[in-house]
Amino acid sequence: MTDTTPVLQIRGLHKSYGELEVIKGVDITARKGDVVSLIGSSGSGKSTLLRCCNLLEDSQQGEILFKGEPITWTGQGLARRPADAKQVLRIRTNLSMVFQQFNLWAHMTILQNVMEAPVTVLGRDKAEVEEKARYYLAKVGIGDKCDVYPAQLSGGQQQRAAIARGLCMEPEALLFDEPTSALDPELEQEVVKVIKDLAAEGRTMLIVTHDMKMAADVSSHVVFLHQGLIEEEGTPDDVFGGTRSERLRAFLSSTRHEQ
């Protein structure tokens, strides 16, 4: 991989659930340090696209390349699956996913939650992982919550713990699926601040979000999806300031009214 090789590249991606095609040929590139925000109405294919990137969903057509390396597939159409389980594990651990609903283990402390995957999946030294886990929990502002359980934290604190868990894998990129949509507005701002700080550090991120202000503030590139296709894309200034598409104009107008 050279410095110019994208961390993640999607070419001509199609995804169907039976007869329903939800992604209809999408191209997305994220280079090192890029922050790509995916916006669009519910049902436009944003979250599905993100899950295809991380191989949590199987796509039926098109290429996914991680650092220039293509995913190898077996079968065709709805029967298409990744061919190499080791490749899937390696790529998935390098593309840490942060979900809308936190997905923390209720029976583990916050520190144990953050340490679990690096120790169990990657086989890293427990003492080294603990040091890193404490560092990342402090980084997201909850270093004092290591020994408490998820139920004892607010939603914003749980989401920040989930971000620390993703960071502790030391991935090439972070994938955020609506990271603030389950939170009250005041807790949402805690998480937005963490994401802004990560963007300022030059971390590579793909973010599915309903928060247009965050997308405008943190993104290097914004993609507007409509019915499984890219309707418009560009810099935040292009997309939010120089909108060309009537559909995007209507979408931005509706989100402003919601806020």
What would the DSSP string read from start to end of 14-69? EEEETTEEEEEEEEEEE-TT-EEEEE--TTSSHHHHHHHHTTSS--SEEEEEETTE
Greatest alpha-carbon pair distance for the chain in Å reads: 55
Predicted pLDDT of residue 2? 55
Flag whether pLDDT at 212 surpasses 70: yes
> Average pLDDT of 102-117?
95
Joined together, the tokens standing for residue 61 give 């057509």
26 neighbors 13 (Cβ within 8 angstroms): yes
pLDDT band at residue 153 under the 50/70/90 scheme: very high
Flag whether pLDDT at 258 surpasses 60: no
Q: Where are the domains of the chain?
A: 8-258
Protein fold of 8-258: Rossmann fold (3.40.50)
Task: Tell me, yes or no, if the pTM score tops 0.85.
Answer: yes
214 neighbors 197 (Cβ within 8 angstroms): no
pLDDT in tens, 16-39: 999 999 999 999 999 999 999 999
> Average pLDDT of 228-249?
93
CA nearest neighbour of 218 among 199, 202, 205, 235: 199
Predicted pLDDT of residue 4? 82
pLDDT in tens, 6-18: 999 999 999 999 9
pLDDT in tens, 196-207: 999 999 999 999
Residue 189 three-state SS: helix
Measure the CA–CA gap between 57 and 252, rounded to whole angstroms. 28
Q: What are phi and psi of 139, to 5 degrees?
A: -60, -35
Measure the CA–CA gap between 33 and 14, rounded to whole angstroms. 26
pLDDT in tens, 39-48: 999 889 999 9
